[in-house]
Amino acid sequence: MQKILLSNSARNTRNGFLFALPWIIGFICLSIYPLAASFYYGFTEFNPVTAPKWVGLANYTAVLNDKLVYKSLMNTLFMAFVSTPVNLLVALLLATVVTRKFRQRGFVRTIFFLPCIIPTIAATMVWIWMFDASYGYINNVLGWFGIHGPAWLMDMRYTKPALLLMGSWSTGTAMLVCMAALEEVPISYYESAEIDGVGPLSRFFHITLPSIAHVLVYQAILNFINAFQYFQQVYIITNASTGAGAGAGYASGGPGNSILMYPLYIFHNAFSFLKMGRASAMAWLLFIVVSLLTMVMIKVTKRATQNAGVE
């Protein structure tokens, strides 16, 4: 009997391992090896055709003396810390709308979610066109209200608001998650609060918000991590304004480098300047910053949700 049980657990281990094997191989080849290699490359100098040559800390000192590194890091931090609350607020607003029961609800939800599935390249193209200073629709709509709109993507003061606008257009995924959370809040809470004469605003802050806090936190962390990977949109926008040929030796970061995001600068270092060692050093710095910030964020929000009495 004992023997059979033992062999059962051994068989389970073998089966489990075999079923998970594709992912394990992928994990080693696509995550662990590249992480280690990237760390090593940070201390070397090479381009796509040469072999890595050990240069010690030269890349790191070069990176720390590069003004554009700080600029791009600040731009990225801005996106992380500003886009996260903005996107969450928009998602929450949309979710509140589609949680109400009305006849066209499914249709409205589709409209709100649709932007999320549009390929980024196509979405970014339309937005570039909409942001056009004189022929764009946004400035024309603003014109109806007597507002003279800025040259959005050409004006360094307005490039980041433009990115925020683009980002909040595609918060459909967060909306769906918030919606599912909102629908799980027991209606009896609201009913008893209403009987006690609690106003709608205070109902929102005392019932709704605490009940869905864990979901909001999860979405915030996801958004935060994504903000550090913000690349495609700025790559397309900056390429559009400088022409695709301007790649070699020149990092295009929009007007005044105002939308030169850290990943974009890494990409330019690697594939435009062909400084792959330096790009690896930059990438590792990013990895450290993201891991630290994410851990802090998980810790802080955990305490916050516990204080709010959730879970």
Q: Give yes or no for residue 225 binding other proteins (CB under 8 A).
A: yes
Among 62, 82, 236, 297, binds other proteins (CB under 8 A): 236
Q: Give yes or no for residue 263 binding other proteins (CB under 8 A).
A: yes
CB atoms within 10 A of CB 279: 24
Residue with tokens 């590194």: 69
Q: Give yes or no for residue 279 binding other proteins (CB under 8 A).
A: yes
Nearer to other proteins by Cβ, of 60 and 218: the residue is: 218
**Structure-token pair, residue 39:** 């760390």
Q: Give yes or no for residue 305 binding other proteins (CB under 8 A).
A: no
Among 2, 48, 146, 309, binds other proteins (CB under 8 A): 48
Among 57, 74, 89, 117, binds other proteins (CB under 8 A): 117
Task: Kindly give, in sequence order, each residue whose CB lies less than 8 Å from that of residue 85, ignoring residues fewer than 6 positions away.
Answer: none
Among 108, 133, 164, 297, binds other proteins (CB under 8 A): 108
Rounded to the nearest angstrom, the gap between the alpha carbon of residue 203 and the centroid of all alpha carbons in its chain is 31
Positions 126 through 155 that interact with other proteins (CB under 8 A) = 126-127, 129-130, 134-137, 140, 143
Query: Cβ 135 to other proteins, closest distance in Å?
Result: 6
Positions 51 through 90 that interact with other proteins (CB under 8 A) = none
Residue with tokens 């599935």: 117
Nearer to other proteins by Cβ, of 138 and 257: the residue is: 138
Q: Give yes or no for residue 47 binding other proteins (CB under 8 A).
A: no
Q: Give yes or no for residue 12 binding other proteins (CB under 8 A).
A: yes
Q: Annotate 256-306 with DSSP letters as a single string.
A: GGTT--HHHHHHHHHHTS--HHHHHHHHHHHHHHHHHHHHHHHHHHHHHHH
Residue with tokens 């764009």: 136
Rounded to the nearest angstrom, the gap between the alpha carbon of residue 308 and the centroid of all alpha carbons in its chain is 26
